[in-house]
Structure 1
Amino acid sequence: MVPTQEIPKNWSLPDKKGKMEIFGFALFGVIINDLLYPQGGINEKGLCFDINGLPTVKFNGQKGSKWHSWFNWFDVLWNNRTVADIEKWFQIREIPAMSWNGGQFHFADSNGNAIIIGVGGDGNLAFTKKKSNNFLVSTNNNIANVENGYYPCTRYDKTVTMLEKIINERNLTVSACRDILDAVHFEKRGVCETVYGNIFDLISKDIYVYSSHDFDRVVKFSLTEELRNPTLKAKQIKMKILDENAYGYPGFEGIKIYPIPDLFT
């Protein structure tokens, strides 16, 4: 968890000088080689993101303004408020050609908009937006290119079926979202399993956290309040956040890192 603060602009945009103020944010992820590997998060404006893995696919690259992205692009939470901001951000940035192993990136905002960014069948960035059915679903299959990923996907089909039963705001509850997470969680198979779950209320900024695939116990806290006056009692750990080159960046001021299982003790 990182509070609002000033940081050097070139931490993200190498051609920029001076400093910029960033929004406060919280990240969720795992630990790899003693570095934090961010896989999702939310900022204080109600913009959230998450990712899912896919098989490697060729990406053609695109020209634009230089961007020194942090690992899994979580630095887009620093200054963006909405899905529209995110779409513009990715349209104007330089992203080199590569064997893309980043999977798909999902963004949603407090206005109710959502977008999935990945690699399409033509090798270029693909932007898939939420349509009139009021939800946008992504599991481990490429929404923009069914040849890349695990399709058909029973977890995708089950999620859609359950979401279709939520027909009004009265039915759109944390319990309903939790039931979906529980229904599609991944039991351990080799090294793969669901290690945590989270639900974001993008309007209230409340966060609901589940450890492993235990959806009977939940820790709830307010991002707004936690950034202002930390109340979580779990033991903090010291660690750096993984960047795109697998190095740990300098620590943010006031950063607080909690192992998810310890939130439940």
Structure 2
Amino acid sequence: MKKEKMKKNIVLVIISLGLSFQSYTMACSGFCISNTSHVLVGNNEDWKNPYTKIWFESTSQEKYGRVYFGFDDFNPQGGMNTKGLCFDGFATKFKKVKNSLGKPNYKGGNLIDYVMSTFGNVGEVKEFFEKYNLSFLENAMLFFADANGNSIIIEGDTIISKTDKYQIITNFYQSEEKGDNISCERYKLANQMLSSSKEVTIDLSKRVLAATHQEGEYPTIYSNIYDLKKGIVYLYHFHNFQDEVVIHLEEELKKGNRKIDLPSLFEKNYAFEKFKENQIK
């Protein structure tokens, strides 16, 4: 590594599956952009918890190695595995899931870790989720992308596949809002930037994340850009895109399973320290 509001029962189900989504009143932004040479996924994690973490799970005969990002509950908010599959979770408004209610519930423990340790592409992920009751996604969506340039948004009853050079996700249901009816300003700004550029670069990804970051009570706590073909993560802390940490997943996994305080990888930031202080009070 080098510098460069849910019902109680739904909450319990989500936690047992290794999922943890912040309140719908908060906001996160993500996208996948690709061409024949590059596949990049960008994400802004917006929330009020300053205690962010990174943890590594080693490769084994049965499991892909993976890196996760999240908070001090160690429920993955996002991550990538050694096959170039990545994911992130997005909170959204309550919407009852109906179409999969007759299917079995997943009972294998941590759902996200199972998916990320077992599957290498979006097609496998889609097939897996189509087998199960997805009522745990009544307040949330999952976003997956792979090194082939494919990505999907799992809304619950609807799975939306990437059909162009990019796919964007924020905190609304794209099955309900389309085209001129989309109200999310972060989505519209990201769409404008991605549609007007032929680039598939770290620089463009960084510009989109910078343009869509949040400040105030629920700021962008960390951001990452996944290079899915190269197995690299570009990491940024507290919407400071000048201070960059680069994670080469295969190299980091050689050091074994471990947990890291994400802020410890960066130079001290006055704005972050004041924000953290205010959360403690």
> TM-score with structure 1 length normalisation?
0.73
Query: Paired residue for 1:183, among 211, 227, 237?
Result: 211
Look up the equivalent residue of 2:153 and give its one-letter code.
I
Query: Paired residue for 2:222, among 193, 196, 200?
Result: 196
Task: Tell me which residue corresponds to 2:77.
Answer: 39
Query: Paired residue for 2:94, among 56, 65, 68?
Result: 56
Query: Paired residue for 2:252, among 226, 239, 246?
Result: 226
The structure in which a higher percent of residues are helix is 2
Q: 3-state SS of the aligned residue for 2:74?
A: strand
Task: Tell me which residue corresponds to 1:111.
Answer: 148
Q: After superposition, give the CA deviation of every residue in 1:114-168 in whole Å (9 maximum; x if it has no partner).
A: 110013xxxxx2110111x311111111112239xx950110000011111232x
Q: In 2, Cα distance between the equivalents of 1:81 and 1:110?
A: 9
Contact 2:182–2:188 (8 Å) recurs in 1: no
Instruction: Say if 1:94 and 1:100 are closer, same or farther in 2 by CA, change over 3 A.
Output: closer
Which has the larger displacement, 105-114 or 52-61?
A: 52-61
Q: 3-state SS of the aligned residue for 1:157?
A: helix
Q: In 2, Cα distance between the equivalents of 1:70 and 1:109?
A: 23
Larger relative contact order (Cα-Cα within 8 Å, sequence gap ≥ 6): 2
Q: 5+ unaligned residues in a row in structure 1: which ranges? A: 7-20, 120-124, 231-253
Task: Tell me which residue corresponds to 2:65.
Answer: 24
Pairwise mapping of residues 1-265 of structure 1 onto structure 2 (< 5 A)? Answer: 1-5=56-60, 21-31=62-72, 35-60=73-98, 61-64=100-103, 66-68=105-107, 73-95=112-134, 97=135, 100-101=138-139, 103-119=140-156, 125-131=157-163, 133-146=164-177, 151-167=182-198, 171-189=199-217, 192-228=218-254, 230=255, 254-265=256-267
Q: After superposition, give the CA deviation of every residue in 1:77-110 in whole Å (9 maximum; x if it has no partner).
A: 1111111001100111244x46822x11111100
Q: In 2, Cα distance between the equivalents of 1:73 and 1:227?
A: 19
Contact 1:24–1:78 (8 Å) recurs in 2: yes
Q: Give identity over the alignment, percent.
A: 30
Contact 2:68–2:77 (8 Å) recurs in 1: yes
Instruction: Say if 1:47 and 1:98 are closer, same or farther in 2 by CA, change over 3 A.
Output: closer
> TM-score with structure 2 length normalisation?
0.69
Q: In 2, Cα distance between the equivalents of 1:23 and 1:81?
A: 8
Contact 1:58–1:98 (8 Å) recurs in 2: no
1:69 Cα offset (Å): 5.7
Q: In 2, Cα distance between the equivalents of 1:49 and 1:84?
A: 13
Look up the equivalent residue of 2:226 and give its one-letter code.
F
Contact 1:205–1:222 (8 Å) recurs in 2: yes
Q: 3-state SS of the aligned residue for 1:257?
A: strand
Q: 3-state SS of the aligned residue for 2:260?
A: coil
Instruction: Say if 1:91 and 1:220 are closer, same or farther in 2 by CA, change over 3 A.
Output: same
Look up the equivalent residue of 2:221 and give its one-letter code.
V
Matched residue count: 209
Q: 3-state SS of the aligned residue for 2:67?
A: strand
Q: In 2, Cα distance between the equivalents of 1:140 and 1:90?
A: 20
Instruction: Say if 1:214 and 1:72 are closer, same or farther in 2 by CA, change over 3 A.
Output: farther
Instruction: Say if 1:115 and 1:140 are closer, same or farther in 2 by CA, change over 3 A.
Output: same
